[in-house]
Amino acid sequence: MKSYLSSKTEQIKPSAIRRFFDMAANMKDVVSLGVGEPDFVTPWPIRDAAISSIERGYTFYTETAGLIELRREIANYMQSCFNVSYSPESEIIVTTGGSQALDITMRAILNPGDEVMIMEPSYVAYAPLVSLAGGVPKPIETSIETEFKPKPEQIQQAITPNTKAILLCSPNNPTGSFLNKEELKAIAEIIIEQDLIVITDEIYAELTYDEPFCSIASLQGMRERTILISGFSKGFAMTGWRLGFVCAPQGFRQAMLKIQQYTMLCAPSITQYGAVEALKSRDRYQYIEEMRTSYCQRRDYMVKSFNEMGLDCHLPGGAFYVFPSIYKTGMTSEHFAEKLLLEERVAVVPGSVFGAGGEGNIRCSYAASMEILKEAVSRINRFLESL
């Protein structure tokens, strides 16, 4: 039968993570380390502000770029927490999650055939979003030897005349690896020398445990060639609210705004009122600090447990994932994850779904209570002993 679908869409594969979630959904007594979202409910002051906006009847479209009040709060937040300065009037757009910010970024900058370097293992949406926008994803494979951080020479060697941008994600999903200031400086030098742009996904910026977060946009010469993507899903425990933002120099931002205008009109208004309060109350209530402290304890527990079980696991600097190696078991990550789910009812994600360099590892999210994590560790231990 003739296909009515676009060839671009037909070439995109559905996310392989879904297969495991679907399998797990039909099973009882599953302990899940599979989900990439906080286990905390959104802090109350944020929920309260959103409820109040409904009560006051603030139910209309906002400006396409988002409420100016929210953009001002975002500008203050980015300046005071991450030392990057953006104009609320001309350099920020509020989006429907970091996901939509990524989408409008790709669509705004890519011409057919433009290459975007992606450090893999990576977040599963990057390569499809590049392809859907007509670009070509170019994976750079990282490995456990460098704790899944790209080597500057790898980036240098992968540049071609078609390279337009480098996509960085630190702290990283799925590896949790974190690029510090010195490591970012080495990459920034190449970006400037080769006249490229960087898309930096800083959605996990609030969740670093050992060193302070550094935005590549704050490094000398980088602001004008950086598109910075962030949001409220992870740090503020607001995944269901679907709210993110993009900060970029005016030229980029204007192009993205055109796409936003015709595709989204604006991000949800009620959610935006909640986010204003999220940023206003961030320091007053210390809720991020409390969540971070809790994640850090869980990270340490998971890393120690995996290493004790004989599965090598580096200490990830941020996000809420550990990425232990299952190489020694001789199984593929998909086989390991499937067998673990069927035999011990623990859901993890096979590393292979995250692209090059992911095979031989599994992603375990520790955004779950200590009780759940302890149960998962005890089941994984039993599973390994049975092999």
Question: Which residues sit at the interface with ligand PLP, rule CB under 6 A?
Answer: 36, 97-99, 123, 169, 173, 201, 203, 231, 233, 239, 244
> Based on CB atoms, which residue is closest to ligand PLP, 173 or 305?
173
Q: For residues 165 and 118, what is the distance between their CA atoms, to the nearest angstrom?
A: 9
321-322 and 163-169 beta bridge pairing: unpaired
Question: Rounded to the nearest whole angstrom, what is the least distance from the CB of residue 241 to ligand PLP in the complex?
Answer: 9
Q: H-helix or E-strand containing 242?
A: none
Residue closest to 374 by CA, chosen among 313, 302, 311, 326:
302
Closest by CA to 216, choosing from 234, 197, 233, 239, is 197
Of 198, 63, 183, 18, residue with least CA distance to 118: 198
CA 362 to chain CA mean position, Å = 17
Nearer to ligand PLP, 123 or 323 (CB): 123
AA identity, residue 315: L
Cβ-closest residue to ligand PLP? 97
User: Nearest 5 degrees, angle CA 16-CA 20-CA 25?
Assistant: 135
Beta strands in 72-122 (DSSP E): 92-95, 115-120
Which residue's CB is nearer to ligand PLP, number 270 or number 331? 270
Q: How far apart are CA 272 and CA 231, in angstroms?
A: 11
Min dist. Cβ of residue 291 to ligand PLP (A): 16
Smallest gap, in angstroms, from Cβ of residue 382 to ligand PLP?
Answer: 30
Other C-beta atoms within 10 Å of 305: how many? 21
Token code pair at residue 219: 């490094």
Least CB distance to ligand PLP at residue 257 (A): 19
Which residue type sits at 212? P
Instruction: Name which of 17 and 377 has its Cβ closer to ligand PLP.
Output: 17
Q: Which is nearer to ligand PLP, 175 or 269 (CB)?
A: 175
Cβ atoms of 252 and 223 closer than 8 Å: no
Q: What 3-state DSSP class applies to 364?
A: strand
Contact 115, 92 (CB under 8 A): no
If the CB atoms of residues 15 and 79 are measured against ligand PLP, the closer one turns out to be 15
Q: How far apart, in Å, are the Cα atoms of 220 and each of 229, 287, 305?
A: 19, 32, 41
> Which residue's structure tokens are 């999220």?
278
Task: Output 139 or 345, the one with its CB closest to ligand PLP.
Answer: 139
Q: How far is the CB of 116 from ligand PLP (least distance, A)?
A: 15
Task: Select 236 or 336, whichever has its Cβ closest to ligand PLP.
Answer: 236
Angle at 322 between CA 190 and CA 178, to 5 degrees: 25
By beta-carbon proximity to ligand PLP, the closer residue of 84 and 243 is: 243
The least distance separating ligand PLP from the CB of residue 103, rounded to whole angstroms, comes to: 10
Beta strands per DSSP E along 239-323:
244-247, 321-322
Nearer to ligand PLP, 231 or 377 (CB): 231
**Shortest distance (Å) from residue 233 CB to ligand PLP:** 3
Rounded to a whole number of angstroms, the minimum distance from the CB of residue 150 to ligand PLP is: 15
Task: State in angstroms the smallest separation of the CB of 232 from ligand PLP.
Answer: 7
Q: Least Å distance between CB 35 and ligand PLP?
A: 9
| DSSP H/E element including 343 | helix 333-344
